[in-house]
Amino acid sequence: MAYKTKLQVTTKIERDLDLEEEEFIQPEELTEYINDAITIIEAQINTLGLKDQYLRKRTTLSLVSGTADYAIPTDLYEDKIKEVVYSNGATIYGVKPLTGSSSAEEIEHLNRYQTTEYYRYRVRSDSSAAKYFQLIPAARETVADVIIIEYFR
């Protein structure tokens, strides 16, 4: 599916409706119409049960031994994550999120004593509003594209 910029959409609408020289629709108003149309389409996709087909995205993370925080795409939000999978050779398992009630003490315990062979995760933000995928415990290995995150945009 090809993504179009706002300029491309606006240009096509103006050309198709012969509005290039017209001034009765202001640019801000046209932007509102475009956003309204997107909202309607997204609602229809959800109503028809096609969310998985049209709105699902995938990203991968490469692990670096000793590293816990990994930058994630700006359109990835914790509540939109569908599934996180660890896949390295014959070892494949679902990576479970830490719940909101997980305490700093529990996270520190998992990091320090590594009481499990399985990773857990949470999404956190720093003061600059950057979002990070925090792997708990910190990565024990350096390997490319081993964490698969499926999410809805």
What are the pLDDT digits (tens) for 83-128? Answer: 999 999 999 999 998 876 666 777 777 777 766 678 989 888 776 6
Spatial CA neighbour of 30 closest among 45, 51, 8: 8
| Lookup: tokens for 52 | 């998985």
pLDDT per residue as tens digits for the range 5-52: 888 888 888 888 888 888 888 888 888 988 998 889 888 887 887 777
pLDDT of residue 3: 76
Q: What is the pTM of this model?
A: 0.66
> Hey, CA dihedral for 128, 100, 66, 139, is it positive or negative?
negative
- Cα 84 from Cα 123, distance rounded (Å): 12
- Cα 133 from Cα 68, distance rounded (Å): 8
* HSE of 113, CA atoms in CB hemisphere, 13 A: 7
